[in-house]
Amino acid sequence: MSGSAYRGSQIENIDQFIEDKEGLGSEREIEIGQHIGYRYDVNLVPDYERLTTFLKQYMEVMGWDDLNWLEDVHMGYEDGKPAVFDRNINGWVRVPDSIPLGKNQQDRDMAARELLIKFQMSDRHPLVALRRVYKKF
Amino acid sequence: MEYLNDSKLASLTQEERAEALGMTSEHLTGRSMTIEFDPDEKTRFVYPWSPDVDFNKRTQINADNLNATEVNHRIRELMEEGYGSIVISNPRGKHALGVGVLSRLNLIFEGSLGYFAAGLIDGPNVRINGRVGWSCGENMMSGTIIIEKNAGSTFGAAIRGGDLICKGSVGSRTGIDMKGGTIIVGGNTGALSGFMMQRGRMIVCGNAGKNLGDSMYDGTIYIGGAIHSLGVDAVEAPLTEPDASWLRRKLHMYGLLPSAGVSHFTKVVAGKQLWNYDNLEPSEKKLIL
């Protein structure tokens, strides 16, 4: 029904998807049993005052003046747990309990970016095995 | 699991390699997967298979008598030798140069390129001192591409991440189906720019052609000049201070910050009216059941 005024859930509480993992906020969502829309603000631009030391080092190694592709990485939530989406495996990577959650989305996004880089560059990332199977010898 | 070196893997079929490395072959059903991963393990900033390159180690390739495949192979060979800055001279408009580079690298083209320049890249910083044809930076994942002159149509098609900059003007369908990253155009952009945009940001310092942002699902478009017309479900939104601050920072980085600042930019976002395309789905399911 194109043309209705429905615009998906409005995220007002940063812990909304931790406290309520379904997060169904509208009649439409309850009807279909699914949350509609992203569980974070995809258009939130990063606050560079909150860069971590690790991310500064990463930018320097890559020769970039800013976060580059990481500007699109945000902390999201899966099954009531904080998680970050890894585009290289098309799935969510859960944030370990040992990583403290920030009080605001900007700090959480920076932690998510750091975790994602560490995971993607790890020898245990699924792409490592995938590459060995499919590469041209 | 027994360690399998590359020579042993090479003797196996693709299916045997997948099985030997513990990969499953069933259809994906969204199941969870547990991987033992320690976020405090050894820090690395590049993919495990990336060559160890040094930005200060510089060399040159004369592309005059080489075809695109030969140039791209030579780039990889030089990266394996540790060269972190590679200059390509005499590219003479060849297509698909500099594609598929998945590591940090400074790649400089001294001349114009054809179609699909520097597509599918993940990490390098590419500078093109000339013009480019269609689909420059298509599907790029990360890194930067800076074009000093004009670019053709479908500039940055399906880009996932990184910064793609054209200091001149670009053709139509710029950023079609983009899913992330930033596209910056110093001049004007053609019709249907941002068509089916899903995420990311597009900045155009000049004018935009008709049907800007048609059928966009999400993402943000900033236009410094005139907009011929907005497409279906593209709407204007107020430019906030975080938007303006980010715009100033990004444009300054690439020497494109207008002397008048950014307050005159128009912000365009998705009206999100098209998000309801599946609104009838539950009743359809009931009918089927």
pLDDT mean over A15-29: 84
In this prediction, residue A30 has a pLDDT band, given cuts at 50, 70 and 90, of: confident
- pLDDT attached to residue B288: 52
Residue B200 burial (CB < 10 Å; 0-12/13-18/19+)?
buried
Query: How close A123 comes to chain B (CA, Å)?
Result: 6
Residue B220 is given by DSSP the state E
Residue B180 is given by DSSP the state E
Q: CB neighbours (10 Å) of residue B174?
A: 34
Within the 32-91 window of chain A, which residues sit less than 8 Å (CB to CB) from chain B? 32, 36-38, 42-43, 45, 48, 54, 57-58, 61-66, 68-69, 71-72, 87, 91
Strand order through the sheet with B142-147: B54-62, B83-89, B106-110, B122-128, B142-147, B163-166, B179-185, B199-204, B220-223, B266-270, B234-237
**β-pair partners for B9:** none
Nearest to A121 among B9, B14, B45 (CB): B45
Q: Which of A8-17, A29-38, B29-38 has the lowest mean pLDDT?
A: B29-38
Show residues of chain A in contact with B4, CB under 8 Å.
Answer: 132
ipTM (interface pTM): 0.89
Alpha carbon distance B257, B252 (integer Å): 5
Q: Output the pTM of the full model.
A: 0.90
Query: CB of A30 within 8 Å of any CB in chain B?
Result: no
Residue B226 burial (CB < 10 Å; 0-12/13-18/19+)?
exposed
Hey, is B175 helix, strand or coil?
coil
- pLDDT attached to residue A5: 41
The answer for residues whose C-beta is within 8 angstroms of residue B48's C-beta and 6 or more apart is: A121, A122, A123, A125, A128
Lookup result for tokens 């370990």: A96
Q: CB neighbours (10 Å) of residue A25?
A: 18
Mean confidence (pLDDT) of chain A: 86
**β-pair partners for B106:** B85, B125
CB contact under 8 A, A87 and B218: no
**β-pair partners for A93:** A84
- pLDDT attached to residue B277: 53
- CA–chain centroid gap for B150, Å, is 17
C-beta of residue B188 within 8 angstroms of C-beta of residue B225: yes
Which residue of A40, A41, A113, A121 is the best one to mutate when testing the B interface, meaning the one whose CB has the most B CBs within 10 A?
Answer: A121
Alpha carbon distance B186, B169 (integer Å): 7
Nearest to B161 among A7, A72, A96 (CB): A72
Show residues of chain A in contact with B181, CB under 8 Å.
Answer: 69, 72
Checking if the pLDDT of A2 tops 50, the result is no
Q: Which of left, alpha, beta for B226 (phi over 0: left; psi -120 to 50: alpha)? A: beta
Across the 289 residues of chain B, what is the mean pLDDT of every consecutive 10-residue run? 76 84 66 71 86 97 97 97 98 97 97 97 98 97 98 98 98 97 98 96 98 95 98 95 94 97 96 69 52
- pLDDT attached to residue A1: 29
Alpha carbon distance B185, B178 (integer Å): 15
Checking if the pLDDT of A29 tops 90, the result is no
Nearest to B104 among A63, A66, A98 (CB): A63
- CA–chain centroid gap for B7, Å, is 34
Angle of helix A53-62 relative to helix A105-120, nearest 10 degrees? Answer: 50
Domains of chain B (ranges, CATH numbers): 150-273 (2.160.20.60)
In this prediction, residue A3 has a pLDDT band, given cuts at 50, 70 and 90, of: very low
- CA–chain centroid gap for B224, Å, is 22
